[in-house]
Structure 1
């Protein structure tokens, strides 16, 4: 793995799933300036509100063959193994794929990011333990609160 920061705005992004994990991914993408497309039969209230503000495209339906074709980055965020496999079956090596249910199906992972005014700290367990990454982030944030960096 090679850690990088990318300007996500220039990429076409698909998120399949409308629940808690998909919502967290979409919120991060929107914050970074992207306008992702989300396919799901159901959406969280947060995603529905994001649609109202025009920051996301929602397609209220199940995943269908061919849905990944025009996207460069794909997040798989469903708890349906058959759907997840169908998504994987049609992706190509030229697409970035993050299967939030199985790290071994992913060719990239998100990093937890601590953002300050003039610096950032990225954390990762390389997709192996997102809960541990979250805990590390919380501990670092509490350490940084007591430090003046001016």
Structure 2
């Protein structure tokens, strides 16, 4: 793995799924300046609010063949393994794909990111242990609150 930061707003981004994980991914993408397209039969209230704000495109339906065409970054966030396989089968090597349900299907991983006003800290277990990454992030945040960086 090679860690990088990318300017995501330059990419066309697709999130498939409308639940908790899809919402978290979409919100992070929006915060980073992207305007993701999200496809799902139903959406969280957070995603519906993001649509009202104009920061996300929602397609209220199930995934259909051909939906990944034209997207450069794809997040698979459904709990339906059959649908996830169909999505994977239509992606190409030129697309960045993150299968949040089965990391070995991914060709990139998100890093946990702690953003302060003048610096950031990225953490990763390369998709091996997201729970550990989350715990490390919490501990580092707590540590940062207790020390002065001035």
Q: 2:96, 2:40 → 1: CA distance?
A: 20
Q: How does 1:69-148 map to 2 (within 5 A)?
A: 69-148=69-148
**Residue in structure 1 matched with residue 15 of structure 2 by the alignment:** 15
- 1:146 deviates by 1.0
5+ unaligned residues in a row in structure 2: which ranges? none
Deviating above 2 A after TM superposition, structure 1's stretches of 4 or more consecutive aligned residues are: none
Q: Deviations over 1:27-61 (max 9, x none)?
A: 00000000000000010000000000000000000
1:58 and 2:70 matched: no
CA RMSD of aligned residues (A): 0.4
**Could you say what secondary structure the match of 1:50 adopts?**
helix
TM-score (norm 1): 0.99
Q: 1:131, 1:24 → 2: CA distance?
A: 15
Q: Deviations over 1:65-116 (max 9, x none)?
A: 0000110000000000010000000000000000000010000000000111
- 1:129 deviates by 1.1
- 1:131 deviates by 1.0
- 1:121 deviates by 0.4
**Residue in structure 2 matched with residue 34 of structure 1 by the alignment:** 34
Q: Deviations over 1:117-149 (max 9, x none)?
A: 111100001011111111000000111111111
Q: 2:48, 2:96 → 1: CA distance?
A: 25
Q: 1:9, 1:76 → 2: CA distance?
A: 19
TM-score (norm 2): 0.99
Alignment coverage as a number of residue pairs: 150
